[in-house]
């Protein structure tokens, strides 16, 4: 206690101010906590549902389309002996081994 404080008035004020500050901080912490958690709850309630897209089938169709484009983009002929798809201007068929360089047949 202070020597000039006759009835403990000054020390009582310090204790009262300390208690008020502690209560104020507790109230501020509770308000911030409630605000943060109420925002999280609202986000959960307002979630947007995306339309269901058949993802796997669209990928397989895209792959098939790409394969068709690659085949059509590549210069492709059929072997006159076995009928397999082969590239243009090659000398031998990679499937049956026949000579394709001779044009007289």
Residues with Cβ < 8 Å from 57, sequence gap 6 or more?
A: none
Strands (DSSP E) contained in the chain are 76-78, 85-87
Q: What are phi and psi of 6, to 5 degrees?
A: -75, -45
Give the separation between CA 6 and CA 75, rounded to whole angstroms.
109
User: Is the whole-model pTM more than 0.85?
Assistant: no
Amino acid 97: pLDDT: 87
pLDDT digits (tens, 9 = 90+) for 4-47: 666 666 777 888 899 999 999 999 999 998 888 876 655 555 56
The H-or-E segment that residue 37 falls in is helix 9-45
Q: What are phi and psi of 86, to 5 degrees?
A: -135, 165
């Amino acid at each position: 206690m202070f020597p000039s404080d006759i009835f403990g008035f000054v020390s009582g004020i310090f204790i009262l101010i300390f208690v008020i500050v502690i209560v104020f901080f507790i109230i501020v912490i509770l308000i911030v906590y409630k605000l943060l958690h109420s925002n999280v709850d609202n986000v959960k309630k307002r979630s947007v549902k995306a339309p269901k897209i058949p993802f796997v089938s669209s990928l397989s169709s895209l792959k098939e389309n790409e394969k068709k484009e690659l085949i059509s983009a590549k210069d492709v002929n059929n072997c006159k002996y076995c009928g397999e798809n082969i590239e243009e201007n090659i000398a031998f068929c990679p499937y049956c081994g026949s000579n394709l360089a001779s044009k007289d047949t």
